[in-house]
Structure 1
Amino acid sequence: MYCNGSWPVVGSRVRWVLRAVAIGYLAMLVVWPLVLVVQNTFADGLDSVWHALSDPDVTFALWLTVQATFWSVLINTVFGVSISLLLVRYRFPGRRLLSTLIDLPLSVSPVVVGLALVLVYGGVDGWFGPALESVGVEVIFAMPGIVLATAFVALPLVIREVVPVLQEIGDEQEQAARSLGATAPQVFLRITLPAIRWAVVYGVVLSLARSLGEFGAVKIVSGNLVGNTQTATLVVEQKYQDFEQSTAYATSFLLAFAAVLCLVVVSIIRPKESAS
């Protein structure tokens, strides 16, 4: 029963409670763990960071992670934009099934993904492994396997950012350009891509952050060979288990800092681009 404006007061209190719950939840789940990592990383100043960067195993793992992340993000960007256009602009049998399968990496454990890749590309009993190795291509326990595992777990991120934007903008401008004689590449580069550029950017950033932090699938397909196929997340596990906590914290901080930095930079530059 509404009386003397009591409902607006109650509504305002509920909003504040919900905000406090949301902020507290994020603080406990995200902010607090990150703060603890930063605190432990810089407990002795910059010594732990310099020590980590001077460790050849850590520097190799970081460089391997950068390479795997680069190729994974590149593959997912090209594939993601292409599949997004296919799902939105075309109607074909199996379209809904394809859209459902794209979300499979979000529901399947990364460890299962890694095991599946081993069964398919393994050098002994894999479906394609022996044939590939016979021509000198090694997938499992090598860079290609790490890239495949990393790309798979980050597969849906670009697509799920681009698809809603394509649905929102429609295809009227694209049809008009085609009617005026524009080729398919011209339509994509001059009309479609500018319209979805920020969706692509956000998808790339999310894919980058996900790729940097991949652990389970990469551990299975890489073999975790120190100085050969060990990525940064695997170094964190090894150093922590070897009681080199400062190096583990420093490596974790570098990975988290790279991901957060990308998000912050995109958040800063987007309003300027939109305003122009």
Structure 2
Amino acid sequence: MADTRLIRRRRGPVTLVLRVAVVVYLFLLVAWPVSLVFDRAFRASGPHEGGVGAFLERLGDPAAVYAFNLTLTVALYAVIANTVFGVGISLLLVRYRFVGRRVLSVLVDLPLSVSPVVVGLALVLAYSSTTGWLGGTLQSVGFQVIFSTPGLVLATAFVSLPLVVREVVPVLEEIGTEAEQAARSLGANGRQVFWRITLPSIKWALVYGVVLTTARSLGEFGAVKIVSSGAEFRGETATLFVHNHYQNFDEPAAYAVAMVLVLVSVVALAVVTYVRPREERA
């Protein structure tokens, strides 16, 4: 009876008001501004024509193609690195007890609280070929970090580091170690336990973390702004392309590229939500 009364109470006018308030808040904060980007991407502006043809022409600009290729390259390396190290860190935090474990957990969350601009400055201090602690040494062997693709990868990997970890850790804690211990008791080694027991158990958390990492990597701006020269055909990622062209009053091109970035992220999240098992979606 108590549960029934609670459910009925949740269906009352207070719940309706809360739902409307949440919907309006999300509409004003997310849906409406994003829809305006879509609208501007196809709209004519000044001497620029509108429509699908003009939109595709803006995306076909060599500078835009270069920016997308660089962004995808950087995102690919950052996602691979954060997937591998994210799973390793998750296992370390959940399956082992050691001195400094809490410090490691705090360091994992650090990118969520530190401004990406600060991240970029920190990377410059560490890896700049002129003033960086390691940059000069790396430069002497012909490996440049800042103002090159490795710097972009480092910056992107830094800001997206926690996303895989924070998706996988709760699942590892929930499944426990019983199945893994049973497999070991039957003679399975560590590699077999990971591939046959642990990985299948965390696969959807890992997939979702990878998707979030990809979306975050594609949209990173602050950190890459610091570590990249940001010029056309020289370190200009898609987000820097949007910024530069908007600042140079080429708004149609900026909106077109911005729309693609939003669309990729939305589609990725929608696909993952759809393909996840129904019980996990609930």
TM-score, with length taken from structure 2: 0.92
Deviation at 1:237, TM superposition (A): 0.7
Q: Of 255, 261, 269, which residue of structure 2 is paired with 1:263?
A: 269
The superposition leaves residues 35-86 of structure 1 with CA deviations (integer Å, 9 ceiling, x where unpaired) of: 1011111222213322222211111011000000011111111010000000
Counterpart in 2 of 1:237?
Answer: 243
Q: Of 144, 149, 166, which residue of structure 2 is paired with 1:143?
A: 149
Counterpart in 2 of 1:206?
Answer: 212
Matching residue's letter, 1:120: A
Alignment of 1:23-172 (within 5 A): 23-43=23-43, 44-172=50-178
C-alpha distance in structure 2 between counterparts of 1:18 and 1:208, whole Å:
33
Matching residue's letter, 2:126: V
Q: Percent identity?
A: 57
C-alpha distance in structure 2 between counterparts of 1:254 and 1:31, whole Å:
16
Where structure 2 has 5 or more consecutive residues not aligned to the other structure, the ranges are: 44-49
Counterpart in 1 of 2:184?
Answer: 178
C-alpha distance in structure 2 between counterparts of 1:55 and 1:137, whole Å:
30
The superposition leaves residues 152-174 of structure 1 with CA deviations (integer Å, 9 ceiling, x where unpaired) of: 00000000000000000000000
**Structure 1 contact 48–250 (Cα < 8 Å) conserved:** no
C-alpha distance in structure 1 between counterparts of 2:10 and 2:257, whole Å:
47
Deviation at 1:273, TM superposition (A): 9.4
Deviation at 1:87, TM superposition (A): 0.2
Where structure 1 has 5 or more consecutive residues not aligned to the other structure, the ranges are: none
Counterpart in 1 of 2:47?
Answer: none
C-alpha distance in structure 2 between counterparts of 1:57 and 1:166, whole Å:
44
**Structure 1 contact 53–59 (Cα < 8 Å) conserved:** yes
C-alpha distance in structure 1 between counterparts of 2:277 and 2:96, whole Å:
32
Relative distance call for 1:56 and 1:20 in structure 2 (3 A) is same
SS at structure 1 position matched to 2:133: coil
Counterpart in 2 of 1:17?
Answer: 17
C-alpha distance in structure 2 between counterparts of 1:246 and 1:33, whole Å:
16
SS at structure 2 position matched to 1:263: helix
SS at structure 1 position matched to 2:147: coil
C-alpha distance in structure 1 between counterparts of 2:279 and 2:141, whole Å:
48
TM-score, with length taken from structure 1: 0.94
Tell me which moved more, 47-56 or 196-205. Answer: 47-56
**Structure 1 contact 129–139 (Cα < 8 Å) conserved:** yes
